[in-house]
Chain A
Amino acid sequence: GAGVSQTPSNKVTEKGKYVELRCDPISGHTALYWYRQSLGQGPEFLIYFQGTGAADDSGLPNDRFFAVRPEGSVSTLKIQRTERGDSAVYLCASSPGGRGETQYFGPGTRLLVL
């Protein structure tokens, strides 16, 4: 079966632009996570969805970042007024139910803000 997919795989944008990053979780997985990984660092948590609702958005760095999951499957991470410091690999993961389970990661979207 298909794993977690993310599009685009790479995104280059200019400072100040708006970007959307998409995540398709494994079919049937109710939990979906977004993480951000800067070069040479471990991933950092951004937001967690259980179904359609954001159960924990404590990792979003500021109000330029927003994520949705309107139908409880595909999720979109939206970044407004991008800054050079937003450059990173954005990782999505999903798990069947959420609590204390193995998470399955997508390949990531590499975002470069010029």
Chain B
Amino acid sequence: KNEVEQSPQNLTAQEGEFITINCSYSVGISALHWLQQHPGGGIVSLFMLSSGKKKHGRLIATINIQEKHSSLHITASHPRDSAVYICAVSQGAQKLVFGQGTRLTINP
């Protein structure tokens, strides 16, 4: 079993829909990261959080430390949001442990 599990693996939605991507982890962490990867492109860090909730534009990330679970939400989704979204955790050490990613496709 992977230390970081994401669901769903693939998600297709219509423009304007509210999107939720989930991440569960099985280890103690110092922080959880949400990252975005466009096809053929590099990885961009969206959020780093260790408690509560963060919001940036249409993106919201939440984390529940007790339940070892985090969610990434996208409001009013747009085709340009289509990408792979990756959850990763850091465990006090510096390296990141990644989930397998969620491929999101938003159709116009």
* Residues in chain A within 8 A of chain B (CB atoms): 31, 33, 35, 40-45, 48, 50, 55-56, 59, 91, 93, 95, 98-108
Closest Cβ–Cβ distance, residue B40 to chain A (whole Å)? 9
Closest Cβ–Cβ distance, residue B15 to chain A (whole Å)? 25
B31 touches A100 (CB 8 A): yes
Secondary structure type dominating chain B contacts: strand
What are 14 A-B residue pairs whose CB atoms fall within 8 Å in the complex? A33-B94, A33-B95, A35-B96, A35-B98, A44-B98, A48-B95, A56-B94, A91-B42, A100-B31, A100-B90, A101-B48, A102-B45, A103-B33, A104-B45
B42 touches A45 (CB 8 A): no
A42 touches B88 (CB 8 A): yes
